[in-house]
């Protein structure tokens, strides 16, 4: 059956627009995806829609066609807004379509910080040039720019732009506090922001701009996804983390992260083997063969206990990784670097 063939694709898109009846849009969206045998996640809110769906090429093409002709999105969404990668329905366990307050969970009321206050969008070509200039100035110690990764630490760990500042945060909803705690860092700077597909920058840049400390805020239109289409071997090194069962997609052969246990170069995530832990762990095949499959000693211990005990007992998640990480890191940038940034 053509709709279910293994070689399909995964689409990623978002659209900010006024949705009068999110419940109705949600029901329509669910029926559409079911009809096309698409799996994945779609978030609907009064501020728009955000989705990542997988299926056969036939199905994803039809999906785009229908989305572009839907009156709600007709004037705001275009073909270019859909980022695609090789995959299919098998990349997601199921289909989830729901109504939320925000289409990307930053945890700030859209009424307070609106996507309408976003930064200046740069095309992949413009962004590439900006990064090039930034890197050449930074190497001479005279940059007034911060290249900011808006993603979570486990995403930037396996792939990022050279010379970027990648916050050690676990969730995008910690990003606003990260900005608040590190305002000094952004003072009078030009900020170049990027994320996976562009959506986190829409709200992130609006939040940063609302603080009125930066000189300018720019963001990469279409995110890393679109950048890699144009510059597979550009300034973005490593893999691109994706939120589905593939975990990452690859544009160049670089591996920039290491196995948690033996430090050999490795960038393929697996879920921590301890039942109640949701952390991802980088552990290479030879360490996995030795039974090193958890994200930390606490989880590894716990797993051994669980295996030797009657399976009736449930343990709550306690994990060194979560315990040791401050929710919001404070960047310690030396005064020298800050002075170097001044004209």
- Please provide the DSSP assignment of 164-230 as one string: -B----SSGGGHHHHHHHTHHHHTT-EEEEE-SSSHHHHHHHHHHHHTT--SEEEEETTHHHHHHHH
The answer, yes or no, to whether residue 96 has pLDDT greater than 70, is yes
The answer, yes or no, to whether residue 81 has pLDDT greater than 80, is yes
The answer, yes or no, to whether residue 339 has pLDDT greater than 50, is no
Query: Residue 302: pLDDT band by 50, 70, 90 thresholds?
Result: confident
* 30: nearest Cα among 117, 128, 99: 99
- Average pLDDT over the chain, rounded to whole? 90
d(CA 141, CA 317): 44
* 236: nearest Cα among 132, 84, 83, 119: 132
Domains held by the chain: number = 3
d(CA 325, CA 248): 23
Per the CB < 8 A criterion, the answer to whether 32 and 63 are in contact is yes
Per the CB < 8 A criterion, the answer to whether 217 and 209 are in contact is yes
The answer, yes or no, to whether residue 296 has pLDDT greater than 80, is yes
The answer, yes or no, to whether residue 298 has pLDDT greater than 70, is yes
d(CA 259, CA 286): 10
| pTM tops 0.85, yes or no | yes
Q: Which structure tokens are listed for 4?
A: 């279910």
8 class by beta-carbon count within 10 Å (0-12 exposed, 13-18 middle, 19+ buried): buried
Same domain, 137 and 70: no
Q: What amino acid positions are annotated as catalytic residues?
A: 195
pLDDT computed for residue 337 by the predictor: 45
Per the CB < 8 A criterion, the answer to whether 8 and 55 are in contact is yes
d(CA 317, CA 272): 12
Same domain, 132 and 76: no
Q: 3-class DSSP state for residue 312?
A: coil
The answer, yes or no, to whether residue 340 has pLDDT greater than 50, is no
Same domain, 135 and 160: yes
Query: Residue 310: pLDDT band by 50, 70, 90 thresholds?
Result: low
Determine phi and psi for 323, rounding to 5 degrees.
Answer: -65, -40
The answer, yes or no, to whether residue 121 has pLDDT greater than 50, is yes
Same domain, 211 and 286: no
Per the CB < 8 A criterion, the answer to whether 282 and 257 are in contact is yes
Structural domain boundaries, residue 33: 8-99
d(CA 326, CA 168): 9
pLDDT computed for residue 157 by the predictor: 96
Same domain, 288 and 197: no
Q: Which of the 8 DSSP states describes residue 291?
A: T
Same domain, 211 and 320: no
Same domain, 22 and 43: yes
Helix, strand, coil shares of the chain as percentages rounded to 5? 35, 20, 45
Beta strands (DSSP E) in the chain are: 8-16, 39-45, 48-56, 83-87, 95-99, 120-122, 145-149, 159-161, 190-194, 216-220, 236-241, 248-250, 269-271, 280-282
More confident residue, 35 or 314: 35
237 class by beta-carbon count within 10 Å (0-12 exposed, 13-18 middle, 19+ buried): middle
In a domain, 340, yes or no: no
The answer, yes or no, to whether residue 51 has pLDDT greater than 90, is yes
Instruction: Report percent pLDDT > 90 for the chain.
Output: 77
The answer, yes or no, to whether residue 334 has pLDDT greater than 70, is no
Same domain, 244 and 263: no
| Residue-wise pLDDT tens digits, 198-232 | 999 999 999 999 999 999 999 999 999 999 999 99
| Residue-wise pLDDT tens digits, 130-173 | 999 999 998 888 889 999 999 999 999 999 999 999 999 999 99
| Residue-wise pLDDT tens digits, 225-258 | 999 999 999 999 999 999 999 999 998 889 999 9
Residue given tokens 């239109």 in the structure block: 221
Same domain, 81 and 133: no
Question: What is the number of helices (H) and of strands (E) in the chain?
Answer: 12, 14
CATH classification of the domain holding 140:
3.40.250.10
Question: Of 67, 99, 131, which marks where a domain is finished?
Answer: 99
In a domain, 265, yes or no: yes
Same domain, 209 and 160: yes
Q: Which structure tokens are listed for 286?
A: 């030879």
Per the CB < 8 A criterion, the answer to whether 191 and 217 are in contact is yes
In a domain, 113, yes or no: no
In a domain, 320, yes or no: yes
d(CA 76, CA 163): 34
pLDDT computed for residue 138 by the predictor: 86
In a domain, 110, yes or no: no
CATH classification of the domain holding 84:
3.30.70.100
Compute the C-alpha angle 9/225/71, nearest 5°.
70
Same domain, 142 and 95: no
Same domain, 203 and 149: yes
């Amino acid at each position: 059956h053509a709709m279910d063939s293994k070689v399909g694709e995964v689409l990623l898109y978002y659209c900010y627009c006024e949705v009068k009846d999110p419940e109705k849009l949600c029901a329509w969206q669910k029926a559409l995806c079911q009809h096309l045998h698409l799996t994945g996640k779609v978030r609907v809110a009064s501020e728009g829609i955000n989705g990542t769906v997988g299926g056969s090429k036939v199905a994803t093409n039809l999906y785009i066609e229908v989305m572009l002709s839907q009156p709600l999105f007709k004037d705001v969404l275009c073909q270019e807004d859909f980022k695609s990668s090789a995959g299919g329905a098998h990349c997601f366990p199921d289909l989830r379509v729901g109504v939320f307050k925000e289409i990307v969970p930053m945890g700030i009321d859209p009424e307070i910080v609106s996507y309408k206050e976003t930064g200046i969008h740069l095309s992949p070509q413009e962004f590439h040039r900006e990064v090039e200039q930034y890197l050449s100035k930074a190497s001479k110690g005279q940059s007034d720019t911060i290249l900011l990764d808006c993603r979570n630490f486990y995403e930037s760990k396996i792939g990022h732009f050279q010379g970027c500042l990648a916050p050690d945060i676990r969730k995008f909803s910690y990003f606003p506090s990260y900005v608040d705690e590190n305002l000094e860092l952004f003072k009078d700077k030009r900020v170049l922001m990027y994320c996976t597909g562009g959506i986190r920058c829409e709200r992130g840049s609006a939040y940063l701009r609302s603080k009125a400390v930066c000189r300018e805020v720019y963001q990469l239109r279409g995110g890393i996804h679109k950048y890699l289409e144009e510059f597979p071997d550009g300034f973005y090194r490593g893999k691109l983390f994706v939120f589905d069962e593939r975990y990452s997609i690859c544009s160049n052969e670089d591996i920039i992260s290491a196995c948690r246990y033996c430090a050999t170069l490795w960038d393929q995530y697996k879920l921590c083997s301890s039942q109640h832990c949701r952390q991802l762990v980088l552990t290479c095949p030879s360490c996995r063969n030795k039974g090193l499959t958890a994200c930390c000693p606490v989880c590894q211990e716990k797993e051994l206990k669980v295996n030797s005990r009657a399976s009736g007992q449930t343990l709550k998640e306690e994990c060194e990784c979560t315990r040791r990480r401050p929710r919001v890191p404070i960047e310690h940038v030396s005064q020298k670097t800050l002075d170097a940034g001044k004209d």
